[in-house]
Amino acid sequence: MFKSRKKNAMENAGGTVITKSIYEGQSSLKWIYRESPSNKNDNGWRAIGDTDTQEYMDDPQNSIVVDFNTLVEIEPAVLKIYELPVGTDLELVYDGKERYFVDTNTGERLD
């Protein structure tokens, strides 16, 4: 299970919905998208793991809300995408050397 290290903390980062598999270390972050927040504490970011199936995600018990900083601690690469707008839809790619995001709508790499 994830253990907090609190090294890259952002103030008032808001809540992020992630799958339990990411939080529990059973999968790695693979997809992340931003939708309109559902309340004032929600930042709109939603994260899905590389092993999460549609059936898994359809069960609400498999999703949890965490502070965005918790997701940063699990996968530091998300720190640089925080400010991207609602509608952003990204895939985290690891090519054996580095991790980077690709916009799933355009296929463009984000640097």
Residue 1: pLDDT over 70: no
Give the sign of the dihedral formed by CA 106, CA 110, CA 93, CA 68. Answer: negative
- Kindly report, residue by residue over 18-36, the tens digit of the pLDDT: 999 999 999 999 999 999 9
Across 5-19, average pLDDT: 81
Q: Virtual CA dihedral for 72, 109, 43, 54, nearest 10 degrees?
A: -90
- Residues 103, 29: Cα–Cα separation, whole Å: 15
- Residues 57, 54: Cα–Cα separation, whole Å: 5
User: Quick count: other Cβ atoms within 10 Å of Cβ 40?
Assistant: 7
| % of the chain beyond a pLDDT of 70 | 92
5-19, 30-44, 58-72: least confidently modelled range: 5-19
Given pLDDT bands bounded at 50, 70 and 90, which one contains residue 10? confident
Q: Is 1 exposed, middle or buried (0-12, 13-18, 19+ CB in 10 A)?
A: exposed
